[in-house]
Amino acid sequence: MLEHALLYFIPVKGDPPPTGTSHTKEQVPKCVAAGSGAGMTCGGEFLKIQPGTGDNLLREDRALGYTDYVLWSTFKPLDLGIDGELDMECLDSGMVLLMDPIAALQGDILEAVLEQAYGDRSLDTVFLLGD
């Protein structure tokens, strides 16, 4: 069961995106498999996963057996300011419904979020913060 927010870094390997842009969901798997520079980290994104508050479940969701959910957001750094603040741009976000949140392991939740956010459950991740 997820009780607190988790923060991951999703490294992107291969050729870096053009300056001022980031990889899209479709580019992440392609960047990992890219020939030129493959294996070299060329940036990445942050992925935040947090437990839902319970108020986004619809009656239809409950009828289908869903009892909880997690919210996820992907971010990319924009600028590390002179004051040390890291400005971030939200790239995408979503919600993954859970049928049995007590039995849902952190790794299972991460895989479900990766599938929804990037279309690939097996992307490399670096755990940064959380329980």
Please give the pLDDT value at position 35.
Answer: 43
Q: What is the mean pLDDT of residues 90-100?
A: 91
User: 15-47: string of b/e by CB count within 10 Å (b at 16+)?
Assistant: bebeeeebbeeebbbebbebeeeeeeebbbbbb
CA dist., res. 72 & res. 63, Å (int):
23
- Does position 95 have pLDDT exceeding 90, yes or no? yes
**Side-chain-side CA neighbours of residue 71 (13 Å):** 12
**Reported pTM:** 0.72
Please give the pLDDT value at position 114.
Answer: 94
pLDDT in tens, 54-91: 788 899 999 999 988 999 999 987 766 677 777 788 89
Count other Cβ atoms within 10 Å, centred on residue 108: 12
Is the model more confident about 13 or about 108? 108
Please give the pLDDT value at position 34.
Answer: 44
